[in-house]
A and B are shown apart, each in its own frame.
Chain A
Amino acid sequence: MKMEIISEIVAIFRRWNTKLLRQPIFLFFSLIQPLVWFLLFTQAFSAIGDIPAFKTLTGTNSYITFFTAAVIIQTIASSALQAGIGLVNDLDSGFMDKMRVAPISKSAILFGKLFSDAISTIIQVIIILFIGLALGVNIASGVLGALMILAIAATFGIAWSGISLFIALTTKSSQTTLSVGLLTTFPLLFLSASVMPLQLLPSWVQQVAKVNPFTYIAQAFQNLIIKGFVLDSIGYAFIAILIIGVISLGASILVFQKKIS
């Protein structure tokens, strides 16, 4: 039984990878937004790095170095949207019914998709790190740190995708899944420590940011990029990922287990 679920996940994982490879243009387009962010935001806000408190708080006076974390998070969030969209497409095309009639586990259908999305997230983050490198962003924690960034990105991507899966499965509408995702990403990003160090945010935003998971992911990335391995922040990031993952994926599996039409 245990072996069966692994082979089911592998089959579905490979299906999505094949689909991804046949739409390379899609990977390309998903990188346009982070690039625009990198180039425009960091140009417009480069003066932030000159604020004396910024350097003491973050350890760098380069805003672009600080901002790399925000670009990665934004990429993960928009990539997580795709999990739900893919599921809705399967529901619409009738392919989902074929899978649901087959003797396979519901979790395999979801995790096969999530793992494939994690692969595409990793590819995107690698590209972003290279673009950053070209723009002068050095990763203080080195290659190991970069691998840690990828690990956080992939697991956070899976956990965050759970929210998109849940919306997709309950609404069965790609429109809704897309708009909820797009509408929440921006506020969450700006109400976190991703674009500005926590202490420089207005006090009410600080309160929100402290319960915003993006803050902990961002701080882990920022530390890995600017300072090196800061175990506390990595720990907090994984705790946040675990909490989100258990809730979002648990809820998605529960909804999915029920027979739907």
Chain B
Amino acid sequence: MDNIVVVENLSKIYGKDIVAVDGISFQVRKGEIFGFLGPNGAGKSTTIKILTTLLEKTSGKASIDGLDIDADQAKVRRIIGYCSQDVGVDDDLTARENLILQCSFHHIPKDKARSKVDELLRKVRLTEAADRRLKTFSGGMRKRLDLASSLVSDPEVLFLDEPTTGLDPQSRQDVWEYVKQLNKQGMTIFLTTQYMEEADRLADRLCIVDQGKIVAEGKPNELKANVGADKITLWFKTDDLEACEKAVKALSNLQGIEEVGKCVVGLTTTEGLIIMTKNGSAVVTQVVRALDSAGIELEQLKLTVPTLDEVFIKLTGKTLNVIERKEAVRRGRRGMRS
């Protein structure tokens, strides 16, 4: 497959020694949704700003569709779209006026612009609100308009910097749907996010970034498979060692089980008996059957599969999703951005 974004050894150092991006290399393939997942301050926005020609890099190389981001800056700008974290729309104008303005920035002839704007308004479901000023718009509506405004030129690569941060769940779903649609029509999408659910749902491939470095790269499923097995947890009706040991014995012959935990008194009230397996959903029925025929009564059973959050914890020792912290940082944000 063709690579449309190629990044080699990219670094950004603010001031003397604040390393925001620390020698990263990656490729985005044509037609895929590529995710950049990481916590606040990981260097996601810095990377996206360098790639969209907004910010000077310190060292390294990057190209978009074969065009160097420095040498061919003007050409790069003609083939990309960009949605920043701040919603870049003008509140004094109406939705339609905002889009028409963007069309004129891209030198789209008037009559073509008019039909383009109508089409975009329809796609982001803002036709009815088209002639209202943005002051009356909700956060979700503004974000949808922001998305539409970065699409007037039919970009080859769309850069989305945390497209759903600060949105309500319904608006988030809307944005996801729309991004998927765009991708189906062939648009390459590069998105940064701090939400593992977002990366998991949208990204064909992703990089997990932390402190300016890429700590893992791959398809979401591969990444999750790498951190480990699925987990089945059992709690028994009676809280005695006997039942537990009987269960361990009954399960010991089952195929596909990698590891069974130890029986300790009080297991039922605590973490339960843990079974590790590669293929949880297939093994769980066998587990239930084996326990049933051994006459062991279960109180509760839980199947857990690894999440990208766990991938992140395993790789960095930190947890990923800290929404409150992010909001606090956003409020105080100005000056240095992640």
Contact = CB atoms under 8 A, between A and B. Distances in A.
Interface of A: 4, 7-8, 10-11, 15, 18-19, 22-23, 92-104, 258-261
Contacts of B102: 98, 102
Given A11-B104, A102-B77, A102-B102, A23 B85 contact: no
Contacts of A4: 107
A140 B285 CA distance: 101
A41 to B, nearest CB: 34
B92 A22 contact: yes
Nearest to A97: B84
Interface of B: 49, 52-56, 74, 77-78, 80-82, 84-93, 97, 101-102, 104-107, 133, 149-150, 337
B93 A19 contact: yes
Name A's interface SS.
helix
Contacts of A100: 53-54
A98 B54 contact: no
Contacts of B84: 94, 97-98
Interface of B is mostly: loop
Nearest to A109: B105
Contacts of B54: 97, 100-101, 259, 261
B97 A18 contact: yes
B261 to A, nearest CB: 51
B6 to A, nearest CB: 20
Contacts of A261: 49, 54-55, 337
A100 B52 CA distance: 9
B77 A94 contact: no
Nearest to B91: A93
Nearest to A98: B88
A256 to B, nearest CB: 13
A14 to B, nearest CB: 8
Contacts of B97: 18
Given A7-B104, A101-B77, 18 more contacts: A7-B107, A11-B105, A18-B97, A19-B93, A97-B82, A98-B89, A98-B102, A99-B105, A100-B53, A103-B78, A104-B105, A259-B54, A259-B55, A260-B55, A261-B49, A261-B54, A261-B55, A261-B337
A103 B106 contact: yes
Given A15-B93, A23-B92, A103 B74 contact: yes
A94 B104 contact: no
- Max chain A C-beta neighbours (<10 A), residue from B55, B77, B87, B90: B90
B80 A15 contact: no
Contacts of A15: 90, 93, 101
Nearest to A96: B88
Contacts of B90: 15, 19, 93, 95
